[in-house]
Amino acid sequence: MVMGRVRNWWNHSKTVAFIWFFSLALFYSLFQMALQNSTSPSSGNSGISNNQRRSIMYDKMARDLDERGAAFLKHGETSQSLSLSDLFTLKDGSVRPVLKAVNPPVRANVPLEIVLDRVILTSTGVLLGCWQVISGTDPISIRAMLRTALPRAPEKQLYDAAILHTSFARLLGHPKASLMDPDNTSKQLELFHKLVTQLNNKIHGFKAVVSQLWYVEEYDVLALALNGRMKVRRFQLGCS
């Protein structure tokens, strides 16, 4: 009788001890996970808003022309490291795109209610409109969801997940008018800064609503920019 009670007590004690041990182990694991999440920075930009992150990035992009010079005046490359001479030709005084097949097709655009933060000219000769978000899901969140839905999308296609920009124009050479000495680099940059400032004064603060999300398969390099071969799937957005 005594042995039966001892055996029952021992079995009960082992069960209780196992439950306590399992609970402690589970708590410790969850605590460590929470600690790691709280201490690790989120993409190196913890503590700042997405709009601030964009502003910092736009400041850096705006310095590109001063740091690298007007490389597009020297038959430079695009931001995708493509030679301009491979993409454009000059015939009868007109600039014409040269369509070049690409494999695989690449992605396109983002939706939002936006306001034009600034216009900048890059060292590769691209006149960019840099936007901030007024309302709607931030591009960082949208791209994170797209990355999950499209795991095979090109990883190096995007400059930064926070960027929200449009390409207004691409400069391919010197102005026709003799406004500057081709050999005077400082005068070149001074003129470009002046022109960009004038444009900023005119269109800064412009607001726009993009009501569609496009999924684009480009069959030519820069097909969206050059009106090349592409397949567009349009999705109406509910955040307008």
Task: Please tell me which of 18-32, 38-52, 71-85, 181-195 the model is most confident about, judged by mean pLDDT.
Answer: 181-195
Decide if 130 is inside a domain.
yes
Report the C-alpha gap between 231 and 237 in whole angstroms: 19
Element (DSSP H or E) covering residue 62? helix 50-62
pLDDT at 41: 41
Q: Do residues 85 and 33 share a domain?
A: no
Q: What range does the domain containing 106 cover? A: 50-236
pLDDT at 69: 83
8 A C-beta contact, residue 170 and residue 126: yes
Average per-residue pLDDT in the chain?
74
Task: Please check the confidence at residue 8 and state whether its pLDDT lies above 70.
Answer: no
Q: Do residues 68 and 178 share a domain?
A: yes
Torsion (CA) 123, 126, 132, 138 in degrees, nearest 10: -100
Report the C-alpha gap between 232 and 215 in whole angstroms: 6
Q: Do residues 175 and 124 share a domain?
A: yes
Q: Do residues 35 and 146 share a domain?
A: no
Q: Do residues 151 and 89 share a domain?
A: yes
Q: Do residues 4 and 60 share a domain?
A: no
CA distances 140 to 107, 111, 156, 193, Å, are 16, 12, 15, 30
Buried b (16+ CB within 10 A) or exposed e, 138-162: bbbebbeebeeeeeeeeeeeeebbb
pLDDT at 59: 92
User: Over the stretch 111-138, which tens digit does the pLDDT of each residue have?
Assistant: 578 999 999 999 888 899 999 999 888 8
Amino acid at 91: K
Q: Do residues 170 and 201 share a domain?
A: yes
Element (DSSP H or E) covering residue 25? helix 2-39
Range in 10-24, 169-183, 202-216 with the lowest mean pLDDT: 10-24
Decide if 45 is inside a domain.
no
pLDDT (average), residues 47-67:
88
Percent of the chain topping pLDDT 70: 64
Q: Do residues 155 and 61 share a domain?
A: yes
Nearest residue to 130 (alpha-carbon basis) of 73, 68, 122: 122
Q: Do residues 22 and 57 share a domain?
A: no
pLDDT at 39: 39
The total number of structural domains that make up the chain: 2
Report the DSSP beta bridge partners of residue 233. Answer: 215
Q: 159 by DSSP, 3-state: which?
A: coil
pLDDT at 150: 77
pLDDT at 33: 55
Task: Please check the confidence at residue 207 and state whether its pLDDT lies above 90.
Answer: yes
pLDDT (average), residues 149-169:
80
pLDDT (average), residues 203-229:
86
Q: Do residues 190 and 87 share a domain?
A: yes
pLDDT band at 153 (very low <50, low <70, confident <90, very high): confident
Q: Do residues 172 and 192 share a domain?
A: yes
Element (DSSP H or E) covering residue 214? strand 212-218
Report the C-alpha gap between 163 and 149 in whole angstroms: 20
Q: Do residues 121 and 54 share a domain?
A: yes
Nearest residue to 72 (alpha-carbon basis) of 126, 137, 117: 126
Report the C-alpha gap between 121 and 128 in whole angstroms: 6
